[in-house]
Structure 1
Amino acid sequence: MKIRLISILLGTLLCTPVWLLAQQADMHYRFEQLMFGEKQPMSVPVRGHSHNDYEQAIPFFAAYHAGMESIEIDLFLHRDSLYAAHDRTKIKQGLTLEDTYMRPLAKLFKENGGKAFADETKQLQLLLDFKEDYKKLMPPLLALLEKYRFMVDPQITAQPVKMVISGNMPPVSEFEKFPAWIYFDGRPGIAYTAEQQKHVGMISDDLKSYTTWNGKGVPSPAAMQKIKREAQHAKMIGIPFRLWGTAESPNTWLTLEKMGVTWLNTDYPVLLKEYLDHLASSRYRSSNTYDVYQPTYVSDGRSAHGVKNVILLIGDGMGMGHIQAAISANKGLANMSRMKHIGFSFTSSLSPGNTDSGAGGSAIATGQKTFNEQLSVDSSGNALPRIPAILRPLGIRTGIITTGDLSDATPAAFYTSHKDRNASEAISESLMHNEDTDILIGGKPGAYQDVEKWKKLVAGLKRNNFELPDTKQEFSASKSEKSIYFLPDSLTRPVKDGRGPILSETLIATIEKLQNRDKGFFIMAEGAQIDWGGHARNMEYTLTETQDFDRAVGEALRFADEDGNTLVIVLADHETGALSLIDTDWQSGYVQGNFASNDHSSMAVPVMAYGPGAQLFTGFFQNTAIFDRILTLFRK
């Protein structure tokens, strides 16, 4: 274990950027930004097309503010004005192309500094579906557009609104007669000349020309290949492809994208906006896979009388969706998937709605449910005995590790009791008097950026005989019975932003420090930022954190096999994000998911166990049962 730890430490030091080592940020602020901060616009390969937009409750604005980059308007000429309507009998007063679309669009175009959208990754086109002969509609349209040349002519503006004519179009042979900024809706199978092609703004077709597919599953292989060929041909000549008559669902949109379709038809722009806004962040393809440990299973499920040590690994916010996504991203492999004893824990608290980490962690640490926002207290606010305090008289030593703030709810629930999980300073200062926890590792709470507060905390911790190493090397080399290692910012940043395998490293080091003390040990190690990735609804963040956690699981399994008397328990305090998987590919390590929420859900979470007594953690049970079963094992 020692040789392995040294090699991991050296590798991390060499790979950690200097700029990360120099920074110290408030993790609570970063968390708030994940939940509520503005998301960076991201370009995606598909775009939204508002079908028959004039039938929306609020034409133009509903689609525009939903980020639809194509808006379809059926046109009729009525009393010298172009009206938007599905048929002539439905023409409404005031619903003209100019009043409803061109005039408000021109105002926005000017406000955005010469572009349709403030978001520079988006561009806009109006698809004008002629419901009458083009010879009747084209003259008044060209006359109208002359007033708006400043936003449709690429000779005048760098980001023009594209005007595309569909429906009763002129014949292809006449395309070249019209201004360069007039485009037409092409059709598959037409061999456009180079000059005609310059006027083709998109290529569209009816889905029924290829298949009767209703959006569930996928079309037949033959139909998919035919659509792919048409879409690929359009792409080769630089023109987007659209199918009309498609169903509306994430599966439909995903399948259309896979076939090469650019424009996604919708009658519900707000629903499509939700899908497109999160499309880029809902996907992840692993660039590097990692090896997983192959357990021997020699001690797995053996008599519970053999338990000397328990390693409790909590993937904060980790549900079944997270675990399966991590397996897929690592091309079908994960340490967690090697664990054979599996159960499910119900995570509700005493509060209405879903649990928070305070109540979730407290239920595991104390065996009693409490209200959200509280730490290891009962419903009346009275302190409850926690696992470390109960085990200390039995000669069991304790280590607590987290990749988040050490005063955060999950780790804090195991070393203190408090009515307010957010009372970071009071929670931290409780360690000045803590007698039952030997090793604590986690980020420095934000309040201690204040130098005087930090000095006061350090002095109090040292009076309680805690050593405070400054580096991983100091922590690993320390012979002190009691240590608190406050991780620098570089070691609490997200994995995707450069954090190394600190959870695995410190778990190995903590095991080495505790394995020969007294009668055994209890270690709680938390992958804190799986939860943060769920709150951010970001698949890369979520999966890189889950995979980092899974690596720590592998180290725990390795030690359990070496020791023979160690039980490893892997679980979550709750699920975050209501994550479901839409698409996975084990061969390439690709995952696309859907976060139905940016908060905790009420879904039961998997509980996996390995080693002596692992058989006690199968089936369905309340989260409080974890506490009961751990204590039962230690008391045998």
Structure 2
Amino acid sequence: MEKIVFTIWTGILCLGLVPANAQTPDMHSKFEQLMFGAEKEQQYVVKGHSHNDYEQNIPFFTAYYAGMESIEVDLFLRKGTLYTAHDEDEIRPGRSLEKLYLEPLASLYKKNGNRPFADSTKSLQLLIDLKEGYEKIMPPLVEILEKYRFMLDEGASGNKVRIVISGSMPPADSFDHYPLWIFFDGRPNLAYTEGQRKRLGMISDNLRSYTAWNGKGVPGKEEMQRIAAQALRAKEWGIPFRLWGAPESINTWIVLEKIGVTWLNTDYPTRLREYLDDLPKSRFKSKQTYPVYHPSYASDGKDSPVRNVILLIGDGMGLGHIQAALTANKGEVHMTQMRHIGFSKTSSYSPGNTDSGAGGSAIATGQKTYNGFLSVDTSGIPLPRLPDILAQQGIHTGILSTGDASDATPASFYASHRDRIASEEISLALRHNKGIDLLIGSTPGPYRDNLKREKFAQTIKGNGFSLLDNVTAYVESKQEKLVVYLPDSAMRPVKDGRGSILSELLMVTIDKLDGRGSGFFIMAEGAQIDYGGHARDLEYVTTETLDFDRAVGEALRFADADGHTLVIVLADHETGGLTLLDADSKHGAIHGHFASNDHSSMMIPVMAYGPGAAQFMGYYENNELFYKIWKAYKN
């Protein structure tokens, strides 16, 4: 685990607090800035402290390999040996400071090229808690530490192990009686001179001195205020702040971190490591927002004819993803303007959770099938797809995706196959497909080879399709049937610089299909929401969901202008089991947690707008969506 440096958004603790007992004349203003400043960002370093480490089944190594950068050791002196134990009756032969900690640490230090960890950005401290008076225990402790001075003396190198003395430690006015490479654990209620502060390795206190908080929710306002004031004092001194006695939970770590605690105390280093390792990808703060279109609702829910259907599929998008986007856009997105809401159950015929092949096929054909199958029944027999059926009524179809055009979700609407990853064969279904007019997505793998691409272009030309490779050509083309395979540069993730291409493609596709015949059907997929869920990356998920929502906005605008267009927004499944641990709409800041890196069995929301929208309310199986869409056209 690397050292985690992240941003705390000041203003996230807008509790209306005023610090009591200000420590200096300007403490009030500094506290106000910390608690209420919405613009300036404060940088914190959050690290793991292995509390009472010697009680682990495998002392030292459990914490070390969990990346804890502080390890706590309680010491007793017996017959000249320093033993690690919490109580005197727990002292056991062989469990000495040297055998359990100093010797293995020295070996690793040398192996790592004279640094505590192989990762040069990481530091390590041993917090040595004296369980007996310092007068008795400090002389032999200093003597044994001198043997390991090569890895302790910070004056010689910056990559040293820091020793911090706690417990029954010397008074501050005797700090300078000890080697400069020995530091001390300060207490917030003590006054220190400037020189003494330089000898403090950290400041620690008992959480129970401030609050009886059980880790759920947040402490009371006054309690929060007192803790934050002490944390701010430590920060002003440039010293990390720790609270022992805190409950063990993710919510506790989040709240303490917001207050300004920099060492997270734990008896479960591996559990804390998972939390810390996830931090870089579990937090996101939006840098900009976009205005949301507010529909007229003139046609919404009306029992009037439907000429067009725009089906927007946010691949992998669940309620957590939608709320993340809602929070990032500071409380409003297009999806939340839609009043007719239902829930779709996404199970397939396979054990476990559905994949996109079975999920897309259920919507495209009205039948559930096995994972890995693409618009075929459980025997592998091709099924009629919605675009094929609609084409018989003169309804034209466009399929759009921000992912591979041959991937499961878009492919389920134009191809049938027993293997959803058979990209080349799936693409070749276009040589005889009569159901779709327009297909746009990222270039399938086989056709990144120029010879194969040219051969493919000639093959589908026999069915009236022209193959294009850029958005400009798509916009300008007058051809009726088009396949557009876009390069990776056009389809890279939003977080890596992609513009709102789904919105653009949707508007162009609507313009091309509107008025061609008896109506149109468009399936537009936000494919990379799913990618972000698999990556357990909150920024990836949120930015892709926001991009998808912009396309929803364009669909709503057109639906209002047209009056006969039904807009349906849903997912084929949820990916990642995303929950939001913290959501601050005021500042667009989110802290999420992914339960897995795969699809979940969570029901997904279905939102509808326009004529016939009411039939999409309620709970139903995903294959029922096919019949609801078909019924909307028939009405």
Q: TM-score, normalised by structure 2?
A: 0.92
Q: Distance between the aligned counterparts of 1:422 and 1:119, measured in 2? A: 39
Cα deviations across residues 115-174 of structure 1 (Å, max 9, x unaligned)? 222333321111001111222222222222222222111122221111101011011111
Q: Which residue of 2 is the match for residue 63 of structure 1? A: 63
**Alignment partner of 1:583: what SS?**
strand
Find the aligned partners of 1:362 and 1:415 in 2 and give their Cα distance.
10
Identity value in percent = 62
Structure 1 position 150 matched with structure 2 position 154: no
The answer to whether the 8 A contact 1:503-1:552 is kept is: yes
Write the mapping of 1:197-596 to structure 2, written as runs, cut at 5 A. Answer: 197-303=197-303, 305-596=304-595
Residue deviations 1:5-59, cap 9 Å, x none?
A: xxxxxxxxxxxxxxxxxxxxxxxxxxxxxxxxxx987524321111101111111
Residue equivalent to 2:189: 189
Cα distance in structure 2, aligned partners of 1:165 and 1:562: 72
Greater RCO structure (CA 8 Å; 6+ sep): 1
The alignment partner of 2:120 has SS state of: coil
1:614 Cα offset (Å): 0.2
Root-mean-square deviation (CA, aligned residues, Å) is 1.3
CA distance in 2, matches of 1:470, 1:175: 71
Which residue pairs with 2:13 in the alignment?
Answer: none
What corresponds to 2:139 in structure 1? 139
Residues 300-324 of structure 1, C-alpha deviation per residue, up to 9 Å, x if partnerless?
Answer: 0011x41010000000000001111
Q: Do the aligned residues in 1 keep the contact of 2:185 with 2:204 (CA within 8 Å)?
A: yes
Distance across 2 between alignment mates of 1:582 and 1:76: 41
Contact 2:305/2:633 (8 A) holds in 1: no
Query: 1:48·1:70 contact (CA, 8 Å) conserved in 2?
Result: yes
1:634 matched to 2:630: no
Matched, 1:160 2:122: no
Contact preservation (8 Å) 1:366, 1:387: yes
> Who is 2:75 aligned against?
75
User: How many Å apart are 1:63 and its aligned residue?
Assistant: 1.0
Please state if 1:110 is matched with 2:117.
no
Q: What is the deviation of 1:597? A: 1.0
User: For residues 527 and 114 of structure 1, what CA distance do their matches in structure 2 show?
Assistant: 49
- In the alignment, the residues of structure 2 paired with residue 281 and residue 632 of structure 1 have an alpha-carbon distance, to the nearest angstrom, of 42
Post-superposition Cα deviations, 1:84-123, rounded to whole Å, max 9, x if no partner, equal 1111211223222112111222222222222222333321
- Distance change (3 Å), C-alpha of 1:111 and 1:459: farther
Structure 1: any 5+ residue segments left out of the alignment?
A: 1-38
Task: Measure the CA separation in 1 of the matches of 2:113 and 2:176.
Answer: 31
The aligned amino acid for 1:96 is S
CA distance in structure 1 between the partners assigned to 2:452 and 2:3 by the alignment: 39
Look up the equivalent residue of 1:150 and give its one-letter code: F
SS of 2:77's equivalent in the other structure is: strand
Q: Name the CA distance, whole Å, in 2 between partners of 1:54 and 1:40.
A: 23
Which amino acid in the other structure matches residue 175 of structure 2? F
Determine if contact 1:69/1:123 at 8 Å carries over to the other structure. Answer: yes
Q: Which runs of 5+ in 2 are unaligned?
A: 7-44
Q: 1:494 to 1:614 in 2, by over 3 A?
A: same
The answer to whether the 8 Å contact 2:457/2:466 transfers is no
Question: TM-score normalised to the size of structure 1?
Answer: 0.92
Deviation readout 1:547-593 (Å, 9 max, x if unpaired) = 00000000000000111100000000000111111111111111111
State which of 43, 63, 67 in structure 1 corresponds to 2:5: 43
- CA displacement, residues 214-270 of structure 1 (integer Å, 9 cap, x when unaligned): 111111111111111100000001001111100011111111011111111111111
Cα distance in 1 for partners of 2:136, 2:456 equals: 82
| Structure 2 letter corresponding to 1:521 | F
Letter in 2 for 1:183: F
Q: Confirm or deny: 8 A CA contact 1:43 1:121 kept in the other structure.
A: no
> Bigger CA drift: 367-376 or 76-85?
76-85
2:257 aligned partner, one-letter code:
E
One-letter code aligned to 2:217: G
Shift of the 448–112 alpha-carbon distance from structure 1 to 2, 3 Å rule, reads farther
The structure-2 alpha-carbon separation of the partners of 1:127 and 1:220, relative to structure 1 and needing over 3 Å to count, comes to same
The corresponding residue for 1:27 is none
- Matched letter for residue 512 of structure 1: D
Q: Is the contact made by 1:176 and 1:195 (CA closer than 8 Å) also made in structure 2?
A: no
Q: Quote the residue 1:617 is aligned against.
A: 616
Structure 2 contact 204–244 (Cα < 8 Å) conserved: yes
Q: For 2:369 and 2:440, how far apart are their aligned partners in 1?
A: 25
Counterpart in the other structure of 2:42 = none
Counterpart AA for 2:342: G
Give SS of 2:453's match.
helix
